[in-house]
Amino acid sequence: MKKNRDPNVFPDPDMYRPSRFHGISPPMPTQPVDIPGTPLYSFLPFGAGGRSCVGQRLAVAEALQIMSAVMKSFHIRIPDDMPPVEEFSSISLKPRGMRLIFEKRNS
């Protein structure tokens, strides 16, 4: 969705900057993500209103479960020599060429 990558709202929208979303609660279905300093409805990862994604709650719940399980078992880092990640979109935006290093936690 081009709206989620508007450079007038998000400087350098193609740069991976998760810090843009620090302190933001997961949105409720049919509600926009309220990002301080941006206009409401400037970021709609699941759409909004009557045409919002019916699988939003399941997608968020699954993502939290998976990330929790992975983060409990591994330290994850990006290689120092990794070039910028390309992206392509089909149904959703996906990274191409992203590499991560998973290091097993001791406990």
Mean pLDDT for the chain overall: 79
For 44-85, what is each residue's pLDDT tens digit? 777 767 777 788 788 888 989 999 999 999 999 999 998 887
Is residue 9 classed exposed, middle or buried when 0-12, 13-18 and 19+ CB atoms within 10 A define those classes? middle
Per the model's pLDDT, the better-predicted residue between 63 and 97 turns out to be 63
The band of 29, judged by pLDDT with boundaries at 50, 70 and 90, is: low
Provide DSSP, 43-76: --TT--GGGS-TTHHHHHHHHHHHHHHHHHHEEE
- Output the pTM of the full model: 0.50
Would the pLDDT of 28 be above 80? no
